């Protein structure tokens, strides 16, 4: 089983662990500006096309302090962390903020940014969540155009069709490299831990896209395509966490019990890189198509459609990756996930697919409890492939 280059991974991990420092150094070196966005669907190509750095704001692992008085405790950990970072000035490195989703909790966090930093431009596009109505496509197209206008206004620049098309090609190239690493991991020929895979994707949300792609090329060039996969480990699919990355310590625990994670649908994972933007025709129309197609490739409970659903997608993914079971990571107080989970569990139970639910919080990791539950889950799969859900 081939391994990832430790020097490259160390460089990517430094960025994933400390995005603000990378952004500050990039701005000092390039003289450019940086625009922050939030999960899950803002098209970073628009920002890149004007020479700015698009960055997805990450969860800060430090305990929430100032944010406790700004958002209720029943808001999810990610939104409380964003509010805390805004209040403490940790997001001041960004020149503007953009959002394209309408989770109520995220709206609250964005409102805190408006309150804490009234001098910073904040744009909220509110992409539609109804994916297959007659008015969906024109409404999405109008929101994409609105995003372009707001970025132009915030930075005093013009987005040209040529620059946008070039940015689309650059981001597609980066997504393809990451998907190739996913394919290698599914085959079992490359050892990519879930925390390493999260580092690969999370760093792509922060770094200059061409710089990141160059590092991915180094990783891929050093992998041995003939390495033999291990056949003695339980293969798992990791599911959930729509907005932010699970703690690396938690991800590491998952594989300490004789399992190996071979696939996922996390936001800081395959969900983020699942879909390319069409490279022909009008680039604005292509971005609209990308938004609509993403829900076909990786369905999300925050989107409404009559044609596809998350549980069917998940079952198909499990079969393709030859996974033996599913670990669902549910961020505490994530309402879309909480509401959909019973349907998901029912579908997996009907197929006899073993399932383990782990609820995560911003502060605190019950490591020994997770370890015990994972060891029990893996042992039950080993003893009976048709084990019932835990």
Average pLDDT value for the chain: 91
Instruction: Read off the pLDDT of each residue in 212-239 and give the average, rounded to a whole number.
Output: 88
For the chain, the 3-state helix, strand and coil shares in percent, each to the nearest 5, are 50, 10, 35
- Please check the confidence at residue 210 and state whether its pLDDT lies above 90: yes
Model pLDDT, residue 230? 73
Cα dihedral sign, 244-248-249-254? positive
- Percent residues over pLDDT 70 in the chain: 98
Cα dihedral sign, 209-211-212-214? positive
Instruction: Read off the pLDDT of each residue in 236-264 and give the average, rounded to a whole number.
Output: 92
Nearest alpha carbon to residue 325 among 378, 270, 269, 250:
378
Model pLDDT, residue 385? 53
- Please check the confidence at residue 94 and state whether its pLDDT lies above 90: yes
Instruction: Read off the pLDDT of each residue in 4-28 and give the average, rounded to a whole number.
Output: 96
CA 344 to chain centre: 20
Residues 322 and 318: their CA atoms lie apart, in Å, by 6
Residues 228 and 230: their CA atoms lie apart, in Å, by 7
Are 33 and 53 in contact by the 8 Å Cβ rule? The answer is yes
Instruction: Read off the pLDDT of each residue in 27-52 and give the average, rounded to a whole number.
Output: 95
DSSP 8-class letter at 229: P
Angle at which helices 194-204 and 209-221 pack, to 10 degrees?
Answer: 150
Structure tokens at 383: 């003893």
Instruction: Read off the pLDDT of each residue in 256-279 and give the average, rounded to a whole number.
Output: 94
Residues 117 and 49: their CA atoms lie apart, in Å, by 26
Residue written as tokens 């970072």? 85
Model pLDDT, residue 188? 82
Assign 48 a pLDDT band (cuts: 50, 70, 90): very high
* pTM for the model: 0.94
How many beta carbons lie within 10 A of that of residue 280, not counting itself? 7
Give me the DSSP letters along 330-385. EETT-HHHHHHHHHHHHHHHHTT--EEEEEE-SS---HHHHHHHHHHHHHHHHH-T
Residues 49 and 374: their CA atoms lie apart, in Å, by 45
Nearest alpha carbon to residue 140 among 295, 337, 301:
295
Residues 148 and 125: their CA atoms lie apart, in Å, by 10
Model pLDDT, residue 386? 53
Residues 259 and 237: their CA atoms lie apart, in Å, by 10
- Please check the confidence at residue 1 and state whether its pLDDT lies above 80: no
Nearest alpha carbon to residue 271 among 370, 185, 178, 354:
178
Residues 24 and 38: their CA atoms lie apart, in Å, by 19
Tens of pLDDT, residues 139-169: 999 999 999 999 999 889 999 999 999 999 9
Give the least confident one: 7-11, 110-114, 187-191: 187-191
Q: Which residues of 18-52 are buried (b: 16+ CB within 10 A; e: fewer)?
A: ebbebbeebbeeeeebbbbbbbbbbbbbbbbbbeb
Residues 107 and 36: their CA atoms lie apart, in Å, by 15
Q: Are strands 234-240 and 259-264 parallel, antiparallel or unpaired?
A: parallel
Structure tokens at 373: 């539950």
- Percent residues over pLDDT 90 in the chain: 72
């Amino acid at each position: 089983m081939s391994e990832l280059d430790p020097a490259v991974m160390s460089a990517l991990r430094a960025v994933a662990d400390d995005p603000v420092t990378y952004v500050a150094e990039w701005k000092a070196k390039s003289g450019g500006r940086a625009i922050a966005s939030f999960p899950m669907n803002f098209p970073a190509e628009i920002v890149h096309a004007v020479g700015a750095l698009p960055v997805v704001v990450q969860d800060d692992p430090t305990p929430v302090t100032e944010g406790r008085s700004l958002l209720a405790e029943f808001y999810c950990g990610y939104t409380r962390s964003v509010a805390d970072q805004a209040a403490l000035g940790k997001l001041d490195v960004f020149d503007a903020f953009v959002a394209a989703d309408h989770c109520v909790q995220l709206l609250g966090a964005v409102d805190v940014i408006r309150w804490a930093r009234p001098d910073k431009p904040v744009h909220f596009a509110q992409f539609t969540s109804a994916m297959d109505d007659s008015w969906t496509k024109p409404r999405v197209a109008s929101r994409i155009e609105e995003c372009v206008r707001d970025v132009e206004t915030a930075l005093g620049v013009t987005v040209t069709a040529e620059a946008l098309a070039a940015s689309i090609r650059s981001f597609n190239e980066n997504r393809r490299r990451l998907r190739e690493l996913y394919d290698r991991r599914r085959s079992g020929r490359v050892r990519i831990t879930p925390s390493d895979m999260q580092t690969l994707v999370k760093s792509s949300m922060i770094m200059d896209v061409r710089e990141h792609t160059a590092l991915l090329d180094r990783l891929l060039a050093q992998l041995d395509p003939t390495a033999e996969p291990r056949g003695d480990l339980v293969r798992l699919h990791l599911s959930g966490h729509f907005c932010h990355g699970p703690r690396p310590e938690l991800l590491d625990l998952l594989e300490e019990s004789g399992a190996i994670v071979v696939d996922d649908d996390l936001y800081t994972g395959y969900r983020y890189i699942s879909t390319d933007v069409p490279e022909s025709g009008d680039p604005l129309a292509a971005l609209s198509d990308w938004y609509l197609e993403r829900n076909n490739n990786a369905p999300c409970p925050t989107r409404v459609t009559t044609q596809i659903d998350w549980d069917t997608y998940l079952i198909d993914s499990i079969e393709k990756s030859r996974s033996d079971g599913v670990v669902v990571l549910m961020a505490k107080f994530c309402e879309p996930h909480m509401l959909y989970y019973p349907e998901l569990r029912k579908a997996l139970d009907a197929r006899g697919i073993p399932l383990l639910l782990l609820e995560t919080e911003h502060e605190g990791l019950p490591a020994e409890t997770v370890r015990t539950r994972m060891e029990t889950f893996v042992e039950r799969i080993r003893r009976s492939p048709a084990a019932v859900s835990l």
